[in-house]
Amino acid sequence: MDVELKHETKLVKIIKGMKAIVITQYGTPEALQLQDKPDPAIRPDEVLIDVKAAGVNRPDIFQRKGNYSAPPGVVPDIPGLEVSGIIRECGSDVKKWKIGDRVCALIAGGGYAEKVVVCADHCLPVPASLSFVEAASLPETVYTVWDNVFRRGGLKEGEHFLVHGGSSGIGVTSIQLAKSIGAKVYATAGSDEKCKACLDLGANVCINYNVYDFDKVFAEEKIDVILDMVGGPYFQKNMSIMNEDGRLVYINAMKGSSVELNIGEMMRKRINITGSTLRSRDKRFKTALTEEVLINVWPKIDSGHFKPVIFKEFLLKDAWQAHKLMEDGNHIGKIVLRTE
């Protein structure tokens, strides 16, 4: 609905409502359809963002299929966990941002839209060197990697770090950040082309798991921290290559979440097995993580030690094609939607 207001001599046009991608039914990518939606309502501690770009993440696919519901209080049928754009409105309690600021933000849903409301404390400035598309590709993966590799995993300079799915959005982020602190980086990926991309991003070693068994190739490497999204069949192999006091961190279990643990092996090596999901965490946790990312990761963008890896951009209306591309599994890095 358009409302026209006469403002002295100027004609001001206020656009009410927005376009958004809606999950019309659980299932195939074609279920993602562009629809008219009302503007999201803003709370005192939130900002309303005119979205320029929205990152696509694997959890969006799980949500579209009906396997990953939005947490309570979050718009249930519009996917999207990260956006970039320009602040259009600030809630009454917001002090740190003003209308017109360029930000990117972590959100728990609703990002595939022209407008979104976000807790002001979960926004970060768009780095000067980055486009909106590049900035939109960062929050979900950077926060996840910072929390799991550096906070939970406690990765330190000189340690050996292995990431499975090295060419994924999560993979390309963790390779670069682990390398930037002086860790030795190992990765696995599903093709030689993906392995080359991991090496180009700074991995010391990357193996094509369709050709080699990673537990045999890395048997003597004494891995200190593993970031795993595969689960099931990788569990025992991961355990076998871990160093003493190693940390095995899960962010998904795409190939199965039930495993058999040899408690003796865990005790002998003093292995810490942990994991987390980001989306359902509370406001305070995400605020603290935002502050850590701003201090620890954002300077690495300015210094050139960390860069977004964009595989392909789509217009918002073509979100279904973006999902199709992600499900085909041949991408390297991130897929991003643009609103214009």
Ligand X SMILES: NC(=O)c1ccc[n+]([C@@H]2O[C@H](COP(=O)([O-])OP(=O)(O)OC[C@H]3O[C@@H](n4cnc5c(N)ncnc54)[C@H](OP(=O)(O)O)[C@@H]3O)[C@@H](O)[C@H]2O)c1
Query: Which C-beta is closer to ligand X: that of 140 or that of 224?
Result: 140
- Which bin fits 112, alpha (ψ -120 to 50), beta or left (φ > 0)? beta
State the nearest-atom distance from the C-beta of 69 to ligand X, in Å.
14
State which residue, 216 or 268, has the beta carbon closest to ligand X: 216
To ligand X, the closest distance from the beta carbon of 45 in angstroms equals: 23
Closest approach, Cβ 276 to ligand X, in A, equals 6
Q: Are 253 and 232 in contact (CB under 8 A)?
A: yes
Q: What is the DSSP letter of 43?
A: P
Q: Which residues pair with 117 in a beta bridge?
A: 48
Q: Could you tell me the strand order of the sheet in which 160-163 lies?
A: 205-208, 184-189, 160-163, 223-228, 242-250, 272-275
Structure tokens at 143: 């926060």
Q: Residue 147 CB, nearest distance to ligand X (Å)?
A: 8
Nearer to ligand X, 144 or 339 (CB): 144
Radius of gyration for the chain, computed over Cα atoms and rounded to the nearest angstrom: 21
Residue with Cβ nearer ligand X (222 or 255): 255
Q: Where are the alpha helices (DSSP H) in 146-210?
A: 169-180, 192-200
Q: Residues 91, 295, 111, 148: what is their CA dihedral angle, to the nearest 10 degrees?
A: -130
CB of 215 to ligand X, least distance (A): 16
Joined together, the tokens standing for residue 53 give: 């770009």
Is the Cβ of residue 90 or residue 198 nearer to ligand X in the bound state? 198
Please identify, using beta-carbon distances, which residue of 169 and 308 lies nearer to ligand X: 169
Crossing angle of helices 192-200/169-180, nearest 10°? 30
Point out which residues bind ligand X (CB under 6 A).
57-59, 140, 144, 165, 167-170, 189-190, 194, 229-230, 251-252, 254-255, 276-278, 326, 329
Write down the least CB distance from residue 59 to ligand X, Å: 5
